Amino acid sequence: MNLIQDLQKDILNSETSLPSILRKTKVLGSLLRNKEFKEWVDNELNGYQEEDEKEIPSYRRGYAESYGHFSGPFGIALKNQPISSLSLPIQFREHVNKLLLVEGVRALESLIEHGSSDFRMQWSADIIAVVSDKIFKGYVCMSAWKLVSRGQIEQVLDTVRNRLLSFVLELVEKHPEISESKDAISNVSKKEISYAFNTYIIGSHNIIASGFGINQKVHQQVPANDLNALLKYMEKINVPGDNLKELEKAIKEDGPGAKPNKFGPKVSRWIERMANKKIVKGAWKLALPTIQMLIFKGLSMFYGWE
**pLDDT tens readout for residues 128-186:** 999 999 899 899 999 999 999 888 899 899 999 999 999 999 999 989 999 888 889 99
The single-letter DSSP state of residue 262 is B
- What is the pLDDT, as a whole number, of residue 242? 86
Which residues fall within 8 angstroms of residue 210, CB to CB, at 6 or more apart? 62, 63, 64, 65, 99, 147, 149, 152, 287, 288, 289, 290
Nearest Cα to Cα of residue 94 among 62, 139, 133: 62
Rg of the Cα atoms in the chain: 23
Residue 147 three-state SS? strand
Distance of CA 248 to the CA centre of its chain: 30
Q: Where are the domains of the chain?
A: 1-211, 227-302
Tell me the residue type at 153: I
DSSP 8-state assignment for residue 123:
P
Q: Which of 138, 148, 156, 151 has its CA nearest to residue 67?
A: 148
The pLDDT, as a whole number, for residue 1 is 59
pLDDT in tens, the chain (306 residues): 589 999 999 999 989 999 999 999 999 999 999 999 999 999 999 999 988 888 899 899 888 889 999 999 888 999 999 998 888 888 888 888 889 999 999 999 999 988 777 899 999 899 999 999 989 989 999 999 999 988 889 989 999 999 999 999 999 998 999 988 888 999 999 999 999 998 889 874 444 544 433 444 444 678 888 899 999 888 887 788 888 999 999 999 888 765 665 778 888 888 877 765 444 444 444 444 556 667 877 888 888 875
Residue type, 277: K
| 68: β partners | 81, 144
Nearest-angstrom CA–CA distance, 287 and 40: 29
pLDDT in the model for residue 189:
92
Residue 290 has what pLDDT? 57
